Structure 1
Amino acid sequence: MGSGPAPFSEIGRRARDLLTKDYNYDQKFSLSIPSSTGMGLTATGIKKDQIFVGDISTQYRSGKAIVDVKVDTYSNVSTKVTYDVLPGTKAAISFNVPDNKSGKLDVHYLHHHAAINSSIGLNPTPLLEIAAAIGSKDVAIGGEIGFNSASSSFTKCNAGISFNKPDFTAALILTDKGQTVKASYVHLVNPLTGTEVAAEMTHRLSSFENSFSIGSVHKVDPLTSVKTRFSDNGKVAILSQREWRPKSIATFSAEYDTKASNVAPKFGLAIALKP
């Protein structure tokens, strides 16, 4: 399956991750405790202004089945059961408590030349979604649609194409039911230092508005990396990440709006521990 295309959701993801992943302007703490018996536990807490929210999640693996259960501070319980039906095919059932209409069935299929993901709500008026990508790991083209049977309307209709090489990735995506075009590009400048640069441009066909973001990532040493981002709206962001012990990472983020000098910069700290 390694020679086949990635799912449609992966088109443009390399650029999105470089420009947005791990940026956080709150105080976040997470603790993951793995287990050799197949049961893992993760506790996460986030402080936003003066509000603290958190959740505890567990994952149990047994043979071809994986069971995920998460409970948050508002007593919401999320459960997901994933099962390897056949080689390359996975099925997952998820639901939330107390929301009795949240049940959903997902089926994922990977082939040497195709990747298909489908989802259907388990209620009388379900939301139907399907995404497919065809090609190879180097070139993939695909699309996704969503249909709300309750209102008999399409919720999404997107398409995209990507070109992937070890030293660069380019993607073009048509989103918002054909109203927005996104183009992204990532280039590996120096493999030895892990230095990469990325750019993403968005054009809205209905209003002729354009926006863009550019960013970079650089490894100072094998355990420390630095990311930067600049957007056309004047916001400048920087991130520093340090793996201070194996699989335990501390991340510091900051953002400053150059067009709003009277607004204080945003700062965030995230600590992820894995004993």
Structure 2
Amino acid sequence: MANGAAPFSEIGRRARDLLSKDYNYDQKFSLSIPSSTGMGLTATGIKKDQIFVGDISTQYRSGKATVDVKVDTYSNISTKVTCDVVPGTKAAISFNVPDHKSGKLDVHYLHHHAAINSSIGLNPSPLLEVAAAIGSKDVAIGGEIGFDTSSSSFTKCNAGISFSTPDFSAALMLTDKGQTVKASYAHLVNPLTGTEVAAEMTHRLSGFENSFSIGSVHKVDPLTLVKTRFSDNGKVAVLSQRQWRPNSIATFSAEYDTKAVNQAPKFGLSIALKP
């Protein structure tokens, strides 16, 4: 399906990831232990201010089925079972304990020229969501809707179109039930150094408000990259990421609000280990 249309969530993702992915202003540590027998274990801890939260998750794969179980510090248990129904179609059932109304069924379908994702809550008044995209690996158009049966109202109604090549990607999105227009663009400046720039502009039709963000990423060497971001609200962010061994990454992030000179900058550190 690499040559087919990507899911609707992928529209505009290239610029979105460059501008926001991996930025973190807390202290985060994760340890992943893979297993050749199909069982993997991941422990994650996050310190936010003076509060520490964490979780332990495990994944078991057997044939066409995958079972994910996560337990957090508040004794909440999240379970998800994914199965390949037929070629190109996956179904997943997820639920949380003790929340008996959290059950949900997801169905994902991929075709050479279409991608459809749908979900329905497994309760008397379910939330229904459907997202679809059609096209090819270069051009895709799609939309998504969400409907709450308990209130008989739409929770989301978005649409978008994208055009992508190995060198650049452009996307136009209509979100917030038609109240917001987002345009994004990402361009690979230098393939040798991995230097890439991206920009995203948002226009709110109801209040005629505009906002934008621009950013860049540059690979200092094969194991180190640096990202920057500037927003029209005066916030400047920088990120440095270093991989010192395969799949083991340390990320340092910082953000400074130029319009709040009396406010201290934000700093964050994330360490992900995988033996």
Query: Within 2, Cα distance between the matches of 1:259 and 1:22?
Result: 24
Instruction: Report what 1:156 is aligned to.
Output: 156
Structure 1 residue 157: Cα displacement: 0.6
Partners of 2:226 and 2:269 lie apart in 1 by: 14
1:101-140 CA distances to partner (integer Å, 9 max, x unpaired)? 0000000000001000000000011000000000001000
Give the Cα–Cα distance (whole angstroms) in 2 for the partners of residues 16 and 58 of structure 1. 29
Distance, in Å, in 2 between the alignment partners of 1:129 and 1:50 is 37
Q: SS in structure 1 opposite 2:151?
A: coil
- Shift in Å at residue 146 of structure 1? 0.5
Shift of 1:27: 0.5
The equivalent residue for 1:115 is 115
Deviation at 1:246, TM superposition (A): 1.2
Give the secondary structure class of the aligned counterpart of 1:162.
Answer: strand
Q: Shift of the alpha carbon at 1:3?
A: 1.0
Shift of 1:66: 0.4
**TM-aligned CA deviation for residue 257 of structure 1:** 0.4
Give the whole-Å Cα distance in 1 for the aligned partners of 2:251 and 2:259: 26
Q: What does residue 95 of structure 2 align with? A: 95
Structure 2 partner of 1:41? 41
Deviations 1:170-189 (A, max 9, x none): 00000000000000000000
Give the whole-Å Cα distance in 2 for the aligned partners of 1:157 and 1:187.
28
Name the Cα RMSD after superposition. Answer: 0.4
TM-score normalised by the chain length of structure 1: 1.00
Deviation, structure 1 residue 245: 1.1
Find the residue that maps to 1:123 and give its secondary structure.
coil
CA-CA distance at 1:195 after TM superposition: 0.4
In the aligned structure 2, how far is the partner of 1:243 from the partner of 1:54? Answer: 23
Q: Deviations over 1:8-57 (max 9, x none)?
A: 01101111100000000110000000000000000000000100000000
Q: Distance in 2 between matches of 1:115 and 1:193?
A: 33
Mind listing any 5+ residue stretches in structure 2 that lack a counterpart?
A: none
Cα offset for 1:79?
A: 0.3
**Whole-angstrom distance in 2 between the partners of 1:159 and 1:221:** 38
Q: Which residue is equivalent to 1:134?
A: 134
Offset of residue 4 of structure 1: 0.6
Could you say what secondary structure the match of 1:14 adopts? Answer: helix
Aligned residues: 275
What is the aligned partner in structure 2 of residue 177 from structure 1?
177
Which whole-Å deviations, capped at 9, do the CAs of 1:225-269 have from their partners, x for residues lacking one? 000000000000000000011110000000000000100000000
Cα deviations by residue, 1:196-224 (Å, 9 ceiling, x for unpaired): 00000000000000000000000000000
- In the TM superposition, residue 2 of structure 1 has moved relative to its aligned partner by 1.2
For 1:141 and 1:159, the matched residues in 2 are separated by 8
CA distance in 2, matches of 1:245, 1:109: 36
Give the fraction of aligned pairs with identical amino acids, expressed as a percent.
90
Counterpart-to-counterpart distance in 1, 2:108 and 2:19: 27
- Describe the superposition over 1:61-105 as per-residue Cα deviations: whole angstroms up to 9, x where unpaired: 000000000000000000000000011100000000000000000
Partner secondary structure for residue 37 of structure 2: coil
- For the residue of structure 2 that corresponds to 1:9, the secondary structure is helix
- Please, what TM-score do these two structures have when normalized by structure 2? 1.00
